[in-house]
Structure 1
């Protein structure tokens, strides 16, 4: 590689490019339309399978729910085995409050199954009077969205779904027994600004319970709970899920990529 990171083309590279039959392939509007339609149909079928899978799994999840309630501190242990969740729950007071958690449930939106409400059920505790804390990811249908279902119940709005555009995380009011000792007041979340106006930086996560009382879910903790921890709750409890190993593999891949091409942009990772 030349000085300054500029790559030099090998001798004859231009000639090879001119003679390469794959270098100047053009896609006609008709072919582009065919590809879009094929991709859309695959996406539609994946939605059908996802919805059917959730329906089939529901009875088994309900049965598992009753079993988990009989295991002492099942959910606090399972949640703390996840690195992202444990990062949010570092304060000893948070962990004490979490020890009263006895059930976690995910209720899927009947209109858009990718949206959901997390429900954390607590037994009587010295911190708050709520017996359930909720975090809703509310579906906001775009204006003039086509909601006419096909034979499989799939709508055009579902095919055009965008999590960033169509979902709003909601705040939930916690009724603290002693407001002046509310964990979210004792350990507030501290936000900062970065060079990128579209990228928020959290300096200090503060209390875990800011996750419920503040609407934004910057690091997708709720998505992690619903789609990873909840679905593999027993595996988390038993310590059979190593999410740190996944992160390590991704970093190794990035390092390997840099050895090949130092100018290749690195993928943007979530900040925690």
Structure 2
């Protein structure tokens, strides 16, 4: 019946006459039908509350499995900072390309590689661990490299590990990113932290918008900079002319400077929850970055170091773009959120990650 062009045309004509909006169609419904639709909405609200409980349990599972992952991440950190030297067995890795080679060809390549490696070892001192591991990860990821300034790089060479810590059982949902540094000339902290507080409950005023946990706010930490090493500030000199005497003097002024380390001093959300447009944009980007570090960077750091994870991300984006192009309802003017159930929220309007 729905393939009958006359019926479809009549239906379309009726819909066009309703101002082109779903609300117009709802207004046209009989009162008794509207009453039943309200009952369905109440059921939908109950579904949202059940979904919220589901995500709370997912958070508990994440906490449980984080403890299982941690020994592996600790060993990764030990290898990166040269606290542990992996055995020959631990270092064996068969790349996809090698699987297609014959045994003799493999042996030939291994022997050649061994000779080249020995030659390199003679030419220069053997580096410790994996130098600039996390800096390379950051530079390989657009979301993070956009934050980096040239003056940040010497500092990030001292970054030895990034850890994710979840809130304790029974406590409000949150996670903390821990950035562990070796001793350096820039600041005295051995660890910098960023904590994100979340909630998993529908908004009473808009329960149907619930689509998973929201990041509500974040707090950074104080960086104890060595004198003259604070890259988040810069000193500028301005000339001022005295109105009366006409003399000119040079005034020195300290102003904010672009830096990755501004990440640890996010804008504060006022008690009334109202933010200016710039602060809201900064927080939305901040929440996305924090979530990305937690979900992608920490669990798969080596693959971002080698670039393999970036290729996978590009493939995923390519597939999504192809799906969008093939979708007749796709509107390129409407941005699509990343595939994640964690959303950002700044009391004004949630920003999906």
Cross-structure match for 2:40: 31
> Which whole-Å CA distance do the structure 2 matches of 1:222 and 1:86 have between them?
14
CA distance in structure 1 between the aligned counterparts of 2:44 and 2:162, rounded to whole angstroms: 42
Partners of 2:166 and 2:257 in 1: CA distance? 27
Uncovered stretches (5+) of structure 2, i.e. residues with no partner? 16-24, 81-129, 205-209, 236-255, 268-281, 338-350
1:251: how far off? 5.0
- The C-alpha deviation readout for 1:170-207, integer Å capped at 9, x for no partner, is 2422121123x4211149xxxxxxxxxxxxxxxx9921
Q: TM-score, normalised by structure 2?
A: 0.51
Shift of 1:39: 4.1
Q: Which has the higher contact order (CA 8 A, sep 6+)?
A: 1
Flag structure 1 segments of 5+ consecutive residues without an equivalent: 1-9, 146-158, 188-203
Superposition pairs of residues 222-237 of structure 1, within 5 angstroms: 222-237=290-305
User: How many Å separate the matches in 1 of 2:325 and 2:222?
Assistant: 44
Q: How many residues align?
A: 222
Match of 2:105 in 1: none
Asked whether the 8 Å contact 2:143–2:289 carries over to 1, the reply is yes
Alpha-carbon separation, structure 2, partners of 1:62 and 1:112 = 25
Q: 1:60 aligns with which of 69, 73, 95?
A: 69
Task: Name the residue aligned to 1:47.
Answer: 56
Note the C-alpha offset of 1:252.
Answer: 5.3
Quote the Cα distance in structure 2 between the aligned partners of 1:160 and 1:250.
Answer: 20
Q: Which residue does 2:214 correspond to in 1?
A: 163
Which residues of 2 match residues 233-252 of structure 1 at below 5 A?
A: 233-242=301-310, 243-250=313-320
Give the secondary-structure state (helix, strand or coil) at the position aligned to 1:183: coil
Distance 1:262 1:233 in 2: 34
Name the TM-score, length of structure 1 as normaliser.
Answer: 0.64
1:251–1:206 distance in 2 versus 1, CA, 3 Å: farther
Give the structure with higher Rg (CA).
2
Match of 2:136 in 1: 77
Give 1:87's aligned residue.
146
The correspondence of residues 171-186 of structure 1 with structure 2, limited to 5 A, is: 171-179=220-228, 181-186=229-234
Q: CA 1:183–1:245 in structure 2 vs 1: closer, same or farther (change >3 Å)?
A: farther
Residue 209 (structure 1) aligned with residue 261 (structure 2): yes
